[in-house]
Chains A and B, each alone.
Chain A
Amino acid sequence: MADKPDIEQLIGDTVGEIHVDAPKMSTRNCNVFYGDKQAIFDVNLDFGKHSVVALIGPSGCGKSTYLRCLNRMNDTIPICRVMGKLSLDDEDIYAREMDPVLLRARVGMVFQKPNPFPKSIYDNVAYGPRLHGLAQTRADLDEIVVTSLQKAGLFEEVKDRLTSPGTGLSGGQQQRLCIARTIAVSPEVILMDEPASALDPIATAIIEELIDELRENFTIAIVTHSMQQAARVSQRTAYFHLGRLVEVGETNDIFTNPRHELTENYITGRFG
């Protein structure tokens, strides 16, 4: 790319404090390639325990790609290569000894489009625990399903029809079902890839409230297109541009007092 030096110059090093005390997850010099094309350039970022980090940026800035590195979902794309040091509790998640299946049980993911299995509500939530053998008895499993649904704020709405198909729920309910399915395996980190982008404002508000509650028990990273959403749910915000991490900081600081010109332009709506 001819204009590559210009971009480097324009963006420069990441502005703001990338470090947090005792991070749950952290990435150092994370580079991602799709074939010959580089999608992520030297991203350094820490994710603190019991806090929500929002990843924002214009379309195609690589925030989803970056998020999907954190539980190795990118492994499913044959041409995708991830380099750098990515760690969960100081364990290298791309190390040879790290089993991606185990990693994904510890780092759960909620996707942009609600994707419940074409099974009953109960089976959707029970799928993960059954898979990993987390429940010894039927009663244990029932309890996991109920508490997961309660934590996802869905239990009251579906308690009379746990055996009806999960695909029959409304979009917002389906997304909460997917969240319940994710937390049923008690992950340590939850990654959310634009979890509310396919939902109406009311369903979105419910999900946002839910994210705030989930923070008590989980470390959360959320990709979002909506700056308001980032402002409402997150403690820290990271702004991505063309595959680079431009600025990161306390959410309040970023939105009231952006230090990088690109961040300011994006937040004030000049592009993006």
Chain B
Amino acid sequence: MNNTEVIKKSLANRYKKERRFQMMGRLAVLTGFAFLVILMTDIITKSLPAFTLYYVKLDVNYSAQTLGVSETAEAEELAKGNFRKLTRDAIYDLFPEVKKRADRKALAKLVSNEAEFQVQKALLADPTMLDTTTPTWVLVDDDVDAYLKSRSDTARTSDKQIAWLETLESDGRLEKRFNWIFFENGDSREPEIAGIRGAAMGSLFTVVVCLLVSFPIGVLAAVYLEEFAPRNRWIDLVEININNLAAVPSIVFGLLGLAVFINFFGMPRSAPVVGGLVLALMTLPTIIISSRSAIKAVPPSIREAALGVGASKMQTVFQHVVPLAMPGILTGTIIGMAQALGETAPLLMIGMVAFIVDVPQGFTDSATVLPIQIYLWADSPERTFVAKTSAAIVVLLVFLVCMNAIAVFLRKKFEKSW
């Protein structure tokens, strides 16, 4: 056998191997993609019910007598009226034939506890409605809402209630609306009025603090280590520590934050400023390591060119090296920020897991963040929270997609060829 034949014989085998490898590669990509699709479909379908809410139309008799206010009452006096009774009466009026106490209780349970506040709000918005009977839309109870969306019998809605609901529906008194409340409110014990805004704002404030602290420190540290630092044992030690820091479990940073920022410096508990600082410590190694490799990737010829015409070291670094490394630095930063956005454990340690109803207005207000909100809702027994959990995940994903889009945009903007 001469060489050509030997090579020919092995060729078939080699091509077969290549085809097999390509097949496996495609399979791997396909599997990954399939899992992504399954995950997204599952989360989105589960979240859909959370984006709508059922309302019921009550013919409310805004009687001054029932409210216990004078007929000429001003807003301040009106606000103190007995809206609970007013709302109850309106509900009972829907089904006057229901007399038994237990049945009436079940009937009253059709609408949300929030209903009386909605009625109050409606009257305060238009005080001329006093002593008139005006149709007013109020929220249904969360169990009723869940029943109306799934139409499956559950232990939490009785047959009587279902019959009433059918009547209401045929009268056109039930309506499904987009759930603005979800985007306007903070957390609540009442699933129907629990919203994501508090957690979203908390996440936003936390990530902003994290970015403001970790980006400049990380980039400057990387520039110093890569361009200016002398090569000696101290710098080696610093490098090893930075690399090890990247592998430290995140909850350790939470303990550190608790000990240093809260206990030692006396910063407020549950505040985005502390959360941001803790997450900044956590993301620093990521930013430093990726910035260093981006700086290292800038061709030395550019440094020589700048030095050759008489630029100082500092000018060379900040006019040429850093701008050219910027796309890589930004990529690393965004990865770090995405990591910070999805982090839960260190924030548990500094009290950001608290149940907080008010939407935070600043960096020192008590707040929670999206992943913790997801965790809290996933832990809640009410059925409606299942959908809320998925909806919160969708919001978190939207956040991440937005951040990545910004990263891609910035990278395109800074990218230059040489």
Contact = CB atoms under 8 A, between A and B. Distances in A.
B86 to A, nearest CB: 72
Interface in B248-290: none
Given A111-B301, A167-B418, A105 B310 contact: yes
B307 A117 contact: no
A76 B311 CA distance: 13
Contacts of A76: 303-304, 307
Contacts of A127: 306, 309, 311
Contact of B305 (A71, A78, A165, A178): A178
Contacts of B309: 104-105, 108, 127-128, 131, 181-182, 184-185
Given A111-B301, A113-B301, A131-B315, A118 B416 contact: yes
Nearest to A167: B418
A109 interface: yes
A109 B308 contact: yes
Interface string B292-328: 0000000101111111111110010000100010000
A76 B231 CA distance: 13
B224 to A, nearest CB: 15
B230 interface: yes
Contact of A104 (B310, B417, B418): B310
B304 A132 contact: no
A115 interface: yes
A111 B311 contact: no
Contacts of A167: 416-418
Contacts of B418: 116-118, 167
Interface residues of A, number: 28
Contacts of B231: 78
Interface string B399-418: 00000000000000000111
Nearest to B323: A118
Contacts, number: 69
B305 A111 contact: yes
Contact of B302 (A105, A115, A131): A115
Contact of A116 (B305, B307, B310, B324): B305
Given A76-B303, A117-B320, A101 B310 contact: yes
Interface string A152-188: 0000000000000101000000000010011011000
A203 B363 CA distance: 62
A73 interface: yes
A41 to B, nearest CB: 25
A117 B302 contact: yes
| Among B302, B307, B315: residue with most chain A CB under 10 A | B307
Contact of A132 (B301, B306, B310): B310
A181 B304 CA distance: 13
Interface in B148-172: none
B308 A108 contact: yes
Nearest to B309: A128
Nearest to A128: B309
Most chain B CB atoms below 10 A, which of A109, A116, A117: A117
A2 interface: no
B304 A185 contact: no
Nearest to A105: B310
Nearest to B418: A118
Contacts of A116: 305, 418
18 contacts: A73-B304, A76-B304, A78-B230, A104-B309, A105-B309, A105-B310, A108-B310, A110-B308, A111-B305, A115-B299, A116-B418, A117-B302, A118-B417, A128-B309, A131-B310, A131-B315, A167-B418, A184-B309
Given A73-B304, A131-B311, 13 more contacts: A73-B308, A76-B307, A104-B307, A115-B299, A115-B305, A117-B302, A118-B417, A118-B418, A132-B310, A167-B417, A181-B305, A182-B308, A185-B309
